[in-house]
Structure 1
Amino acid sequence: MSDFSDWSSSDDSDIEELLQADDTEMMVAILAVKDLEDCKKLLDQRKGSQIGRLCIERNRALGHEQLMQDYFVEVPTYPPRLFRRRYRMRRTLFERIVKDCEANSHYFTRRTNAAGAMGFSAYQKISAAMRVLAYGIPADYCDEYLRIGQDTTTESLRRFAKMVIRLYGDWYLRAPNEEDTKRLMEINEKRGWPGMLGSLDCMHWKWKNCPKAWHGMYLW
């Protein structure tokens, strides 16, 4: 994105506050999952158990503990700015979504399986779904870190997309009214885009002169 050097320091703080607003970040997340749902670009469907299929003991509890230590304890390994970069939202908003998913879907509650082993937590499942959404990575890309396999990631992504649309779609996917239009126009004018109703976060911005390896790495 362009670096508007003529902005004043007060404008910078106002814009940063707007960029970090829960409503703005929730809108971006909703549109991302809605686009995924509309385009039908989900990964391979879950196939279930098969004879001769490779079974890996992933230590799900270790994956959960590592994730919580890295991002969700009082003093996490990675600071809030890195959380927002990697999850495309603030931690408070992510935790709100996790709690809402747990309260409205049995799938996202942590429970034991038939063998008595503790299953994946909502934080693991939704983190895996968010990584796929944020970076467009394969479903098994986070296996080593989150200890969650391709099939579970695919199923988590599918259920997460449907759950987010069901929980928040009526508000965040509704047509803007006069008050919404005025608010969005004011926000974008402060961003340096007067007259723009949409959001750069929700557009397909072309990285014409930027190295492809940097694509998606920076938020403004």
Structure 2
Amino acid sequence: MSHANLMNYFNPNSVYTEDDFKRCFRMRRHVFERLLRDVQQVNPYFRQKLDRAGCAGFSPHQKVIVALRMMAYGSLADLMDETHGMSKFTCLDTLQQLCDTIIQVHKDEYLCKPNQEDLNRLIRKAEDYGFRGMIGLLNCMHWDWKNYSTGWQGSFSGKSRKPTVVLKAVASYDT
């Protein structure tokens, strides 16, 4: 999707509704715009630059949308070349840059470690349920993946030679 076509979703007089935006991008417009603003402020990679020929490179909107589509839909980087004109390596680099930047920007708010008060609360609640000294439970299992993308088969095949995903569950008294 070219930058001009993409901007139809962001035009104030757009024919696309909020529901259209949410269905297409898997998030509300204001969330996307906040994410875009945050990554542009922190990481210069998400600012549009001119290439050596003097042509404009990929826009910040294009970069963020490609990375989000790869995550939301499980799209392969190779497929982004057909739909967005971005090479596999640029897509993978963009995805890595976005993930690193989101962690850098939001880790204090969303990825905080439990403090002593949190740990004490979890231990007390677990003891109420008969589990002394436990703050949570972690369980993992291999789950056969029936409708896998054939391009991913090798990456997700273990010694059973069948594509599997590892299902992890972390639980405490309130989750």
Partner of 1:152: 90
Separation of aligned partners in 2, 1:144 and 1:89: 23
Match 1:78 to one of 12, 16, 34:
16
What root-mean-square deviation, in Å, do the aligned CA atoms of Structure 1 and Structure 2 show? Answer: 2.6
Separation of aligned partners in 1, 2:18 and 2:80: 20
Shift of 1:140: 2.5
Aligned residues, how many? 121
Higher helix share: 1
What are the ranges of 5 or more consecutive residues in structure 2 without an aligned counterpart?
118-142, 148-175
Deviation readout 1:158-194 (Å, 9 max, x if unpaired):
000000000011101225789xxxxxxxxxxxxxxxx
SS in 1 for 2:57: coil
Matches within 5 A, 1:122-141: 122-141=60-79
Matches within 5 A, 1:1-220: 63-69=2-8, 71-175=9-113
Separation of aligned partners in 2, 1:125 and 1:85: 19
Shift of 1:146: 2.2
SS in 2 for 1:128: helix
Check whether the contact 1:113–1:119 (CA below 8 A) recurs between aligned residues.
yes
CA 148–78 in structure 1, closer or farther in 2 if over 3 Å, else same: farther
Shift of 1:142: 2.9
Q: Percent identity?
A: 36
Check whether the contact 1:143–1:149 (CA below 8 A) recurs between aligned residues.
yes
Shift of 1:78: 3.1
Separation of aligned partners in 2, 1:80 and 1:145: 22
Shift of 1:82: 2.6
2:30 partner amino acid: T
Check whether the contact 1:86–1:134 (CA below 8 A) recurs between aligned residues.
no
SS in 2 for 1:140: helix
Higher strand share: 2
What are the ranges of 5 or more consecutive residues in structure 1 without an aligned counterpart?
1-61, 179-205, 207-211, 213-220
Larger Rg: 2
Separation of aligned partners in 1, 2:93 and 2:15: 28
Partner of 2:121: none
TM-score by length of structure 1 reads 0.49
CA 85–175 in structure 1, closer or farther in 2 if over 3 Å, else same: farther
Separation of aligned partners in 2, 1:135 and 1:115: 33
Shift of 1:152: 1.0
Deviation readout 1:79-106 (Å, 9 max, x if unpaired):
2213223322111111111111111111
Deviation readout 1:33-81 (Å, 9 max, x if unpaired):
xxxxxxxxxxxxxxxxxxxxxxxxxxxxx81111111x11113343221
Structure of higher RCO (CA pairs closer than 8 Å, 6+ residues apart): 1
Partner of 1:41: none
